[in-house]
Structure 1
Amino acid sequence: MPLVQYPDSSSEDDSKGITVEELSQLSSATPTSALKRKRIELDQSSSELPPLPASFYDLYSTNARTSTRDDPSLHGGRKRAVPHVEGNWATHVYLEWHPSQTESTALHTIISLVQSRTEPSAGASPSPQIHPLFLSSLGVPLPLHISISRPLILRAPQRDPFLATLSTYLRKSAVRPFEIVFTTLKWVPNFERTRWFLVLGIARPTNDELNRLLQACNQAAEVFGLPRLYTGDGDTRHEKQNSQPQDLSSSFHISIAWTLAEPLPETHALLTSDPVARFVDTDVRKLEVGFEAVKVKIGNVVSTVGLGLRPKSEIGGILG
């Protein structure tokens, strides 16, 4: 298709007297240093983009549904622990960790070491594939988390009251931003034993922040007759609150990978022997992960409750 020839504009009329040779001379007269300086300024401006706000990740925390029913074939064989029921809202309270490049490399190394030492000998059946939780099937980085609630089910009218009640208990816990370090590596199953997770144990933080957050979350769950985490109970509607909080530090963990098959005894054993154990001791235990907020996911909506916020009852007055 031939190009359409448009009449010259007034701006073009103004430049009719400039020849090609003159334009070439003008461009060649531009100092090279000025061009370099401009290029450096552009490079610096592009490399100094501000980081994405933490709330940005919450917008994409849920995968788009590709089926109207639960279909394990769409999720690598995984089965939903709590079947979806219309009118029910799956809820989870947790601390979120976005591993840095260095941290992701360390996690990759752990999985590679474990996977390579579970490879079968010639003629044996293939070993179960270990899937990282910090990468999607397309290689996109994903966040990891520490659970401070069980998978909860809310009815629609309970969503806002639960979030308000939980926020109140979290503020009363007076937990400020804190850091954790890792201890051990082990395999643990889910409640139904349909999946096994490779998890990193967590050392008790300096001010016992994890136990305090867990207690706050369990108190909120109890108000609504929901099961509490790490207590071994079910419906707590008619139970009295335990006035003596337990130390459940050994229960907290971060899952870094999963597999559908139960690991063999020798697979469990290799986690405490070289080279896996040595790498955990020399590299993984050096990692420090910080948390500044609690995440509350109700359905596909994620809310954030900042740590260090004072209870509303203590806020007020000029000096308050």
Structure 2
Amino acid sequence: MDALMANYGSDSDDDNEPAAVVGGAPEPQEASVLLPPPPLDLLQPPNFVDYSTIAQGSRIRSFPHVEGNYALHVYIPIVIPFNARKQLTLVMRRAASLVPDLYAVDADYALSDLCKDEQKLEKVLLGREFHVSLGRTVGIQVHQIDSLVAMLRQKFQSQQRYWMDFNKWEHFVNDDSTRSFLSLEVTRTGLPEISKQIHMVDEVYRLHGLPEFYKNPRPHISLAWALGDVSSKLKQATKEIEKFENSINSSKNCNLRCNFSRIVCKVGKKVYDICKIGD
């Protein structure tokens, strides 16, 4: 998540007290020569994005916070290749027009606002890291961390590269129906390999008394979310998106193709590399 920035005043009351005057009125000081402020664009880096102008959404935790527990998430990091971003930019603009209350996943900025500026859309949404979940996001205790990470590393020590085709637009709703997602699903190339990896994570979860993944896993990356269960809106939107893609792309290639090279385990704010395939 992008952290919110806030300005804090000094925590010392002395800073706000007037200076003591000794020996009557203070001597007048020469007025300093004031220069006009520089243009704002000179104070901003070339790729600056003004996040304060973008509406943000609010979310509900998927599970309650328990003192001493840490959120665990095992996943495959996904970065959208540069050559796939142009078409995805067009698709996400279309999605925002179909479902106006969508937000960029994890960044939590309104998709309709991001679509007004191509730089914002690419930087905040398409230029970030996505993930294919290999296990449920659950809470674990601190004494379980070392054992869980060690077992995962042992399980995945002999992984090899494979291709993943995110070839189908789909919608998903979380378990408690507090959020809906617009996603790209893997249904062909890469599905057997990812399914096998999910089963391997399940084995480690089971040994630690953690809930396993869904019975029929559907690997995907989520690009946008909406509050509550808006399945009907997203179901219709995915149909319109597919028609739109067919109109702008005559080929039948998948929407997005990525190469598997890494598995990550995130515990709280700490990230552990489980396996990493060299170039």
TM range (shorter): 0.5 to 0.7
Instruction: Tell me if structure 2 keeps the 8 A contact 1:182–1:284.
Output: no
- Give the structure 2 partner of residue 132 of structure 1: 104
1:305 to 255, 268, 274: 274
1:95 to 63, 76, 79: 76
| AA at the equivalent of 2:226 | T
Shift of 1:63: 5.0
Instruction: Verify: 1:76 aligned to 2:57, yes or no.
Output: yes
| AA at the equivalent of 1:275 | K
| AA at the equivalent of 1:181 | D
1:216 to 197, 200, 203: 200
Shift of 1:106: 2.8
Aligned length: 214
The 3-state SS of whatever aligns with 1:285 is: coil
Q: Which runs of 5+ in 2 are unaligned?
A: 7-54, 110-119
- Give the structure 1 partner of residue 95 of structure 2: 114
Instruction: Verify: 1:230 aligned to 2:198, yes or no.
Output: no
Deviation string 1:24-47 (CA, Å, 9 cap, x unpaired) is xxxxxxxxxxxxxxxxxxxxxxxx
The 3-state SS of whatever aligns with 1:208 is: helix
Instruction: Tell me if structure 1 keeps the 8 A contact 2:181–2:222.
Output: yes
| AA at the equivalent of 1:257 | A
Q: Which runs of 5+ in 1 are unaligned?
A: 1-61, 68-73, 119-127, 232-247, 310-320
Range with bigger deviation, 266-275 or 158-167:
266-275
Shift of 1:275: 3.2
Distance in 1, matches of 2:236 and 2:228, equals: 16
| AA at the equivalent of 1:107 | L
Instruction: Verify: 1:147 aligned to 2:130, yes or no.
Output: no
Distance in 2, matches of 1:201 and 1:207, equals: 9
Distance in 2, matches of 1:281 and 1:224, equals: 49
Q: 1:282 to 1:86 in 2, by over 3 A?
A: farther
Structure whose alpha-carbon radius of gyration is higher: 1
Range with bigger deviation, 260-269 or 108-117:
260-269
Q: 1:266 to 1:76 in 2, by over 3 A?
A: closer
Distance in 2, matches of 1:75 and 1:160, equals: 36
**TM-score with structure 1 setting the length:** 0.59
- Cα-Cα RMSD: 3.0
2:261 to 282, 286, 292: 292
- Give the structure 1 partner of residue 169 of structure 2: 185
Deviation string 1:110-157 (CA, Å, 9 cap, x unpaired) is 221122234xxxxxxxxx421223867474432111000001211111
Shift of 1:66: 8.0
Q: 1:162 to 1:132 in 2, by over 3 A?
A: same
Which structure is higher in strand share? 2
Percent identical pairs in the alignment equals: 23
Q: 1:102 to 1:308 in 2, by over 3 A?
A: closer
**TM-score with structure 2 setting the length:** 0.67
Distance in 2, matches of 1:211 and 1:164, equals: 21
Distance in 2, matches of 1:303 and 1:97, equals: 16
- Give the structure 2 partner of residue 164 of structure 1: 150
